[in-house]
């Protein structure tokens, strides 16, 4: 095994797209052969700018990602896109439509697209998704764009694992903006008001700026730059790229290292979840039903899973 893995490693480090595709497949399958590749990706000096693109379906997120790629390619940058559908148990099909919009770049060797329809143990991004992301990050691309499909926790998770989070909004429906104020706005590093040719764009920008002023802030606070875009016409993309790079400067090396550590933390926790789910599955088929019936304490079961012991006896802790 050692010799071909080394050669795969060399080809991966030389940015061979076929080696990369193979490496991603190993990581997706959770094979140990992916480990030296992952380690190489992480120790590499050159790391991509990892941008998460988030926003509700209908905001034009995928079109904007496509336009962003075109702009980055015009600047000679190499770009990888990781499209993830962590909501896959609930929906289906959306990812295909989104991918079709990316086809304008499919013949371009400077653009690499990978789709994953996978879900983490507790929802969100799976450990394998994180490993695919790490391999892309260290594969010699200038940018890696992480895009998720579907609603729900993916928005928050993208922010947890990227260097920069781009939030895509539209002028349509002032209450949409109201909605976002509740929690999503504060995870954005850069905001695109897309479809800016629609009525209400100015008002939306004003509302967003007003909302930013409401939060607690001091001289070190990063206010997400708000940029008008019309992604379907490739408009506003340069300024969006500039805003991301300005945030990168703001983060600096310590900030970027913290973001990378957060990615690693997310990955480790997802791996831990997977192992514990397996342990729970092996221990008892009706483990959780027994907790629900009050036959076992949730705390005792959690202890047993963490310790790797057998299940607690009935009534343990009854004197508590």
Binding-site size for its own copies (CB under 8 A) equals 90
* CB-count burial class (<10 Å; 0-12, 13-18, 19+) for 171: buried
Q: Which is nearer to its own copies, 106 or 252 (CB)?
A: 252
C-alpha 73/C-alpha 82 separation (Å) is 17
Q: Which stretch binds its own copies (CB under 8 A): 71-79, 223-231, 232-240, 253-261?
A: 253-261
Q: Which is nearer to its own copies, 239 or 275 (CB)?
A: 275
Tokens found for residue 161? 């694992």
Work out which of 74, 96, 100, 122 binds its own copies, going by CB under 8 A: 122
Q: Which of residues 162-191 bind its own copies (CB under 8 A)?
A: 172-173, 175-176, 178-184, 186-187
| 109 touches its own copies (CB under 8 A) | no
Least Å distance, CB 242 to its own copies, is 26
| 152 touches its own copies (CB under 8 A) | yes
117, 88 in Cβ contact below 8 A?
A: yes
* CB-count burial class (<10 Å; 0-12, 13-18, 19+) for 311: middle
Beta bridge partners of 147: 53, 83
| 144 touches its own copies (CB under 8 A) | no
Per-residue contact string for residues 201-230; x = within reach of its own copies by CB under 8 A: ------------------------------
C-alpha 8/C-alpha 36 separation (Å) is 10
Per-residue contact string for residues 77-106; x = within reach of its own copies by CB under 8 A: ----------x--xx--x------------
Which helix or strand (DSSP H or E) is residue 12 part of? helix 2-13
CA-to-CA separations, 16 to 2, 20, 140, in angstroms, rounded: 19, 6, 10
Q: Which is nearer to its own copies, 111 or 192 (CB)?
A: 192
144, 50 in Cβ contact below 8 A?
A: yes
| 149 touches its own copies (CB under 8 A) | yes
Other beta carbons less than 10 A from residue 34's beta carbon: 25
Least Å distance, CB 197 to its own copies, is 16
Residues ≥6 apart with Cβ < 8 Å to 206: none
Q: Which of residues 261-300 bind its own copies (CB under 8 A)?
A: 261-265, 267-269, 271-273, 275-277, 279-280, 286-289, 291-295, 297-299
Least Å distance, CB 30 to its own copies, is 9
Tokens found for residue 133? 């992301």
Q: Which is nearer to its own copies, 70 or 311 (CB)?
A: 311
What number of CA atoms fall less than 13 Å from residue 35's CA on the CB side?
5
Least Å distance, CB 139 to its own copies, is 14
| 39 touches its own copies (CB under 8 A) | yes
């Amino acid at each position: 095994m050692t010799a071909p893995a080394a050669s795969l490693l060399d080809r991966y480090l030389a940015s061979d797209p076929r080696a990369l595709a193979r490496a991603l497949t190993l990581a997706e399958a959770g094979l140990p052969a992916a480990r030296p590749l992952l380690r190489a990706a992480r120790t590499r000096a050159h790391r991509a700018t990892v941008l998460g693109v988030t926003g509700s379906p209908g905001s034009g997120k995928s079109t904007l990602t496509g336009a962003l790629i075109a702009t980055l390619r015009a600047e000679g940058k190499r770009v990888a896109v990781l499209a993830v559908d962590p909501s896959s148990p609930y929906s289906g099909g959306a990812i295909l439509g989104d991918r079709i919009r990316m086809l304008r770049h499919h013949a371009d060797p400077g653009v690499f697209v990978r789709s994953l329809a996978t879900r983490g143990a507790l929802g969100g991004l799976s450990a394998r998704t994180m490993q695919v992301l790490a391999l892309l990050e260290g594969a010699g691309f200038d940018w890696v764009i992480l895009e998720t499909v579907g609603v729900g926790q993916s928005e928050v998770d993208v922010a947890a694992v990227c260097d920069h989070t781009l939030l895509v909004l539209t002028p349509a429906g002032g209450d949409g903006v109201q909605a976002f104020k509740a929690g999503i706005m504060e995870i954005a590093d850069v905001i695109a008001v897309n479809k800016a040719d629609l009525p209400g764009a100015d008002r939306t920008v004003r509302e967003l700026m007003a909302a930013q002023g409401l939060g607690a802030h001091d001289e070190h606070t990063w206010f997400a730059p708000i940029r008008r875009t019309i992604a379907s016409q490739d408009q506003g993309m340069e300024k969006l790229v500039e805003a991301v790079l300005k945030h990168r400067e703001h983060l600096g090396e310590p900030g970027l290292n913290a973001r990378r550590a957060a990615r690693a933390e997310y990955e480790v926790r997802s791996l831990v979840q997977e192992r514990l789910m397996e342990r729970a599955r092996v221990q008892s088929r009706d483990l959780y039903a027994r907790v629900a019936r009050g036959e076992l304490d949730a705390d005792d079961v959690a202890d047993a899973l963490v310790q790797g012991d057998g299940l607690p006896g009935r009534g343990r802790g009854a004197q508590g």
